[in-house]
Each structure stands twice: as structure tokens, then as C-alpha cells.
A and B are shown apart, each in its own frame.
Chain A
């Protein structure tokens, strides 16, 4: 059984790269500055300032995820049914933007949406009212949707592609309407892909601090920003770790839900 040995470097890496760092977060999360055990860092999430930021983050993440799904599902369906060039090429169209650095792409939105920026200049020349969503939560949702849309489209697309076209044809032959086909065949069969997509959008949206920094104009503090502040400006690693542990709870819940909905592990985004 030397084959199992092949996985040793990986096991070692998991231990050193994932388990130990998480243990460190747990250590800092459950102790105070002097090293004494405390749960203050964990229950700190219930302080108004933290709860507020968490609430805002959850709200924005849910909205972004929903918008992503509403945009992605029709798109995936269209892609599936189309004869748009080779399959691989289409998928690449969505991966290609990832090659432009994501900070720059987000920054570009700042340029586009700025009051004196391109978008508003265009609107003004067309005598339309200018759009002032920069530095508001709406801009952050836009940023999140933009950054994470590919992560929602690809798993759904993959899941849809795995559905045998014969099944759909058979359903039509048996007299089903388009709506019925969607509701009873396409949606249920693509659930693994949807679950994967939702997780891959929701979790990063929930914990981002970069998007709120760039598009929020310093006015909007998400839970990710608070954690970042605790680790940098405030130099309070204990509180930062405590809050991070709370975030991990959400992540674990997402993972568990994903495992439930995607038992065979088919819904990869890749």
C-alpha cells in the first residue's frame, strides 16, 4: 500500500498549511491580549457595531448572490442551447476576464461610475440624469456581481451540459410546456451546479474587504473591513481572530449545505 504514501506530502501540507494556521486563529480567538482564556472575542459579534456590519455584509452578499443567479441561469441555458462556436471557447470567454487583475477591474468600475467619470459624462451628453451609485452599497453589489459572476455561470453551465438532451426531448414529446421542463427537469438536475455556484459567490461576497474599499469610498464598513482593521490598524489580533472564527461558521454551514445538495461531488465549478 505504498500508493497511500504518495499522498503524504499532501497530508503534511494540509496539516502545516491549513490545520496549524486555523489552530492559531482559534488560539488567538479564545484568548485575550495577556494570553488568558476568554470568549469575549466570540461574543463580540453581538456588539452593535459588529452585528450591524455583519448584517450589512449578509444582506449585500445575499443580494449579490441572488442577482448573480438570476443573471447566470438564463445565460447558462442560452449557452447550452446555442451553437456558438466550440464549447470550450465559450467557457474561455468567461475565464478570460479573470486574467485582467481583479483589483484593476474593480478599480475600473470606480473610474466608470465616478461622478465626473465616463458613464455620467455619457449620460449628460444624452441629457439623462447622472447615476450616483458610487460610494454606496449599490456600487458594492455591482462590484461583487461583476467579480463573481463567472463563478456562478460556469458550474451551472457544466451541470446543464451534463443533462442528456434526450430527456428534455422526451419531455417535450410527452407534452410538457417549456415552463414545466424548466421547473421539473432543468432546475432539479442542475441543483449541484447551482449549489456550487451559490457557495462560490456567497462566501467571498460575505468576506470581501477589497471591493468595499475600492467602491465604497471609505463610507461602508463590511465585516471583512472590520476584521482587516483589527488585524492592521487596531492591532487587536484576538478580536480579529474571534470574528474570523464566526465567519468560519458561515463557511462551514455553506460547505455542509453544499455537501447535502451535491452528494456525488459533480457540481464542480471547473
Chain B
């Protein structure tokens, strides 16, 4: 089922601006070939990429559409969804009048690959391909620095290599790391991100090797999708409790595709128990919710939808309207349409902030 590309819809709203903070370009290993050594290219041909979920191809929780993509996102020229810049321009960037798009490539980027050296080689190649194939050809797009996050030092090296280069808007990791992200093995990533003046984007997915819930493996893809929120709760809790924000006071975190409805309640919960248990974590100088308010940004997609729309607006106020960034998740099946995604009751100023203003300030976009 391919749907006709509609006419551009945003001309009349041009003044609001639109920055899409989650676009997934599809990179291929063939594109990465020039940036890989023969050794790693040959390794890839022989052993492939090995994630901590067991399958050589596909997933233990099969997606509900091929490539988890919108049915209409397959380029007419062939190739995978979001692998063709011209079609992405027509279908997405031009169609909605996107001023800037932050690209978050998911695979193959080396993230979650079990072999740390291969992971580093792939991350390097993925970052080269993003710049060469996308950013250099399309000035509206920015790349994310994929880092081989299980190796803190290799990640630091990759971040330093890209620091100061305007092609890259943020440092990028997945949410399901093999240890909770606040643990010290990951601190070189935070240090290098702060040094480079870049936010750290944490996008859901990845395979930690641990069960996807703290009560074991669920059965269904719908649970995998729902459980991104619980994993993200563990990420936020770990970053705070390990004292990361006392050590890296300028660190900015962007939670991508994890929703935000859970974030205020997590802050209340952590505050309550911190008041009782603060002698265990004397390195925290403030209530956990204060670290959340200062250091975290969230993206909108998948936009929270309550039975009563006003409840989502309550949650947005609790998170802070200045901390919410619009994201579409193009080209995935659960894409949020920029025209329809936000609650209609938001005022003009709030729409301006969420659609563009907050991201412009956070990512230093002109």
C-alpha cells in the first residue's frame, strides 16, 4: 500500500518553525565499506553483526511492519525506508516544512554489537556516512555521533574526533545498555560530551542482554514497546543516583522516543524515597526531581494520548514546556504527524517552543 505524497501543508504556519528531533536515516553496510578496514569488512562478511538477542536477522519480538516502517515510506527508487534523501525531502522535509532534522541512525551503527572493536569501527563508519551521504547534501539535517557505548574510552575518542564539527548535533546512545547508564564505565562519554558542548541523546531500544523487564522476558512486541518507558525510568534513576550531574554539571540529556508521561511521577517517587534514604547517597546535593528539571529534555513521539487530553497537558506542565522537543520518528510506523500530534489546547507560545524554539536553543541551530 503506497500512499500518494500529499501537497505541502505547512506554508500557512511557516512562522512557528519546525525542528524534528528524531529522524531515522537508514544507513547500509555497503555505504560504510569505504570507512571500514579490510579486517572488519571481512569479519562482517563472515560473522555478521551479533546483538544480545540471538537472531542473525530480525528480532525476537518481530515488528508489526517490515523495517517497523510506515507502509508509504518505501522509496519509489527501491531501497529501504529513509535510505533515499530525495524521497525523504519530498515525503517529509518539504512536505511539512521541516527547518531542521536531527538524525538518529539505529542500525547498523555498531551500537549493541558484542565485539567492542567492531562496534567502534562501525560507529566511526556510521558517523562518516551520516555526514557524507546526508548532512553534506542536505543543510537542514544534522547527524548524531554514534558511540560504541559499552567502551567508554573508545566512545570518548569518537566524540573528540567530531567535536567542533557542525555536522553533528549530539552524542548518541541507546537506552538499553549492558549496565545502568550512570555507572562509571560510561563516564568518559559524559565527560567528552560536556567537553564538546553537545547534549547526550538517549534513544530507546538496544539489547542490554538482561531481560527486558525486571520480572523477566515478556511475550509480545506491544510489551517491548511499552517497556521502553520502564527502561528509561531505570536510566534516569541511575544517572541521578550515581551522582553524574554533580560530576558533570553541564551535561544535558535528551530522552528520545521514550515518552514523558512517566517522568513527573518518577521524580515524585525518587524525591519521596530520597528523603528517607538520603544517607545512602550523600553525593546527591539536591532532590532528584531538581536534577530532572535541570538536566533532562524529552521528545514528543510517541505523543502521550490520555483519555482526557487535558491530563497530557498537566504532564507537559509538570515536565516543563521548555523541556519538550517535537519529534516525528520518520519513517517508522508510529510516526507522529507534525500537524496533528500536539494537543490543540496549547497556546501559540507553547507550540512555538515545542515545535522549534526549545530544540533551536538546545542544539544551537540557527
Whether both chains belong to one complex is answered with no
